[in-house]
Amino acid sequence: LSQLSSSEHAPVVSITLFVTLLCACIVIGHLLEENRWMNESITSLIVGVGTGVVILLISRGKSSHLLMFSEDLFFIYLLPPIIFNAGFQVKKKQFFRNFMTIMLFGAVGTLISFVIISLGAIGFFKKMGIDLEIGDYLAIGAIFAATDSVCTLQVLSQDETPLLYSLVFGEGVVNDATSVVLFNAVQKFDLSHISSVETMTLLGNFFYLFFSSTVLGVAAGLLSAYVMKKLYIGRHSTDREVAVMILMPYLSYMLAELFYLSGILTVFFCGIVMSHYTWHNVTENSRVTTKHAFATLSFVAETFIFLYVGMDALDIEKWRVVSDSPGTSASMSITLLGLVMLGRAAFVFPLSFLSNLTKPSPDERISIQQQITIWWAGLMRGAVSMALAYKQFTRAGHTQLRGNALLITSTITVVLFSTVV
């Protein structure tokens, strides 16, 4: 035991246990395959919380961690395969048929939600005696404007409700990208003196990032298709063909990050273009291999994220900082949940009405029941919100400031409640 707990061997022990838990989540998820209300995301979350409790008991309340949370781990290694696979597997006909509605919900809707949550946080938090800078309030708007459509998509059926699935799926990806772009745009500006010029510059920067990221993703996808068609790598080596297929989207993501663009949008549109052009220029063996490889990488990354979020929910350091004000923490969580619901309703119903005006066929219009489902589907908050909250309110996963700790614990509460309930 003393050898296992030594500082040199500790990372190996942690990773071994974490991989064991990943395997357990996959097996349990398989056993619960028929249960539509207990999907793999919730399973991983519950296993993570249970593991956190066990580690807390073993460490006598000192820690609930096997691995420390890292925003870089999330944004550089875990998120790209999830978003790329979303673009690669998308039903393109349905997606582009509803493209304008998806962009309305994902971009304009997220902006509306961002404004409402930010203004609401300013009004309510100041009454609670929580003093934050204007940049923090805007960051809160971006953090809680980010939905988590992964859980919802496991409940909706792509075959039974193609319109709903397409709208929720497309909006979820564009929403995540928009939230991250907004978050990064807020970080770049001096917000101590907000003026109309500063606001317009912020919006201009947002649309520039949005457009540039999309163009880069499309260009990377077309380049990969051109390389595959001209060189026909598969005639000599399927392995090289698959390797290029896997590395090109990751290169597009990292190039976007290098040039301070949105890697999420870039890799998503790269996935769409590669599935339409590149995939048809590779050998049959490579098609089968890449399709399953992308799906597997995405699945493992999703499971990893939810497992870690569950474990991090019991991080004793943050709860200890806010232990003297549990009422304030609960009030903040309830307030944020209310603002999320209000912000969601403020754009889903009005934008659905506008979208319906452009649809000549009644079958293409969004019914009131479907609007309610879309509103409900976007209430879940997940890993993107967690990662952005850590990036804004912690340093290397740690914080001793009461206001920051309150926001982290409130984010954890909102994520757990919205995902499980």
Tens-place pLDDT, residues 219-262: 999 999 999 988 888 778 889 999 999 999 999 999 999 998 88
Above 80 in pLDDT, residue 68? no
Q: Map tokens 């995301």 to a residue.
A: 41
The string over 27-56, giving b where at least 16 C-beta atoms fall within 10 Å of a residue's C-beta and e elsewhere, is eebeeeeeeeebbbbbbbbbbbbebbeebb
In a domain, 187, yes or no: yes
Percent of the chain exceeding pLDDT 70 equals 88
3-state secondary structure 263-274: HHHHHHHHHHHH
Rounded (5°) CA angle 226-228-231: 100
| 368: exposed, middle or buried (Cβ count in 10 Å: 0-12, 13-18, 19+) | exposed
Q: By the 8 A CB rule, do 336 and 118 touch?
A: no
Q: Map tokens 């109309």 to a residue.
A: 196
The pLDDT value recorded for residue 364 is 82
In a domain, 17, yes or no: yes
Q: By the 8 A CB rule, do 74 and 383 touch?
A: yes
pTM of the shown model: 0.86
In a domain, 320, yes or no: yes
Residues with Cβ within 8 Å of residue 210, at least 6 apart in sequence: 107, 177, 178, 181, 262, 265
In a domain, 133, yes or no: yes
Q: Following DSSP, what letter does each residue of 238-269 receive, concatenated?
A: HHHHHHHHHHHHHHHHHHHHHTTS-HHHHHHH
- Within 37-150, strands assigned E span none
Name the residue range of residue 334's domain.
10-192+297-420
In a domain, 302, yes or no: yes
For residues 324 and 119, the model is more confident at 119
Above 70 in pLDDT, residue 191? no
The pLDDT value recorded for residue 66 is 62
**421 three-state secondary structure:** coil
In a domain, 89, yes or no: yes
Tens-place pLDDT, residues 23-46: 999 999 888 876 656 667 788 888
In a domain, 234, yes or no: no
Q: By the 8 A CB rule, do 145 and 113 touch?
A: yes
Classify residue 68 by its DSSP letter: -
Task: Check which CATH number belongs to the domain holding 342 and give it.
Answer: 1.20.1530
Give the number of domains in the chain. 1
Q: Taking the CA atoms of 352, 355, 360 and 364 in sequence, report the sign of the dihedral they define.
A: negative
